[in-house]
Amino acid sequence: MAVVSFPARAGIRHLLSAADAGALGLERLMVRSEWLRRDRRIRRVAEPLAGLHVALLFEKPSLRTKMSFEVGIAALGGRVTYLGPSEVGIGKRESAADVGRNLSRWVDAIVVRTFAHAGLEELADASTVPVINALTDREHPCQALADLLTLRQHLGSSRGRRLAFVGDGNNVVHSLLLAGALAGLEVRVATPWRYAPDPQIVGRARQIAAGTGGAVAIGTDPAEAVTGADAVYTDVWTSMGAEAEAAERMAAFGPYQVNAELLAHAPDALVMHCLPAHRGQEITDEVLDGPRSVVLDQAENRLYAQQAVLLELLAAG
Ligand code: CP
Ligand code: NVA
């Protein structure tokens, strides 16, 4: 297993982990995102990213992340170049460090979706411009920021609220644990024991939560996790890159479906999913399309959360 570090990178500021949102100023990011959502006219009246160019380097498919970065950057007057899965070959055609060094000579920020988190860290360490994690096998911090924004939108505040995650202890829940801890949320996770979140990330989330009034609970019982929850969150059982394990995962995750029966334990809870959803597997149509679902708000909020991160990293002040 790769060694996980939460290094303080001197000089250039990056968003590699949801924990980095603490150093960037989580509350300021949230307030700025809300302002961007309220006044989409900024697209026409202000172009704070004018003259800036961002590389979107994606080694996995994407709808939401690609579109929300492209639309968000263009709306703020910046430009993007998208490099898709067949183009660069991080660590195959050349090292992650060499990719970062080269891109830094042309662009003002690099947004990366890749497999190994260590590759993202290597690329960031060699870069002289900010690097933003657009999903690795370990984390999905942009998603977690949009999710906190969605909780604030529907619940008024996230502090002290209970968020239950049911399913795979993957990249999405790792970032939710860290961002939720920063925001003072109680995050309760239920996974099959084999697919529990990484203990190092859980430990880091607990450390952060100790200073914010948040809390972290990890277990295997979905009903216990969702009881009394303000929001119930799930994600696919087979993430991008794990397709060879799909059959064994289907068997292991059967009891972890988010359906009407499970939600009976949390009668008022919001329903959340990062999408794409595998309907009929981790979530039923009835629940995903039901009145408590806020999944499209989560998708829309990717735009504002990422714009706020870009403004913080590139146009602070
Ligand atoms: N939620 C999310 O990151 O969606 P995409 O994989 O479509 O970008
Ligand atoms: N856990 C999923 C999230 C997709 C946005 C994956 O990594 O494929």
How many A from CA of 285 to the centre of ligand 1? 19
Task: Say if residue 223 is exposed, middle or buried (CB neighbours under 10 Å; 0-12, 13-18, 19+).
Answer: middle
Q: Could you list the active site residues?
A: 113, 140, 143, 235, 274, 302
Running DSSP on this structure, what letter comes out for residue 30?
A: H
Q: What is the pLDDT of residue 97?
A: 96
pLDDT tens per residue across span 141-155:
999 999 999 999 999
Q: What is the pLDDT of residue 44?
A: 56
Residue nearest to atom 2 of ligand 2 (CA): 239
- Predicted TM-score (pTM) of this structure: 0.95
Is 274 close to ligand 2, i.e. is its CB under 6 Å away? yes
Residues in the chain where the model's pLDDT stays below 50: 1-9, 317
pLDDT tens per residue across span 86-113:
999 898 999 999 999 999 999 999 999 9
How many A from CA of 138 to the centre of ligand 2? 10
**What residue ranges define each of the domains in the chain, with the CATH number in brackets?**
18-139+302-314 (3.40.50.1370), 143-298 (3.40.50.1370)
How many A from CA of 236 to the centre of ligand 2? 7
Instruction: State the DSSP string of the chain.
Output: -PPP------SS--B-STTHHHHH-HHHHHHHHHHHHH-TTHHHH--TTTT-EEEEEESS--SHHHHHHHHHHHHTT-EEEEE-TTT--BTTTB-HHHHHHHHHTT-SEEEEE-S-HHHHHHHHHH-SS-EEES--SS--HHHHHHHHHHHHHHHS--TT-EEEEES--SHHHHHHHHHHHHTT-EEEEE--GGGPPPHHHHHHHHHHHHHHT-EEEEES-HHHHHTT-SEEEE--SS-TT-GGGHHHHHHHHGGG-B-HHHHTTSTT-EEEE-S---BTTTB-HHHHTSTTB-HHHHHHHHHHHHHHHHHHHHS--
- Best residue among 137, 236, 283 to mutate for probing ligand 2's pocket (most ligand atoms within 8 Å of CB) is 236
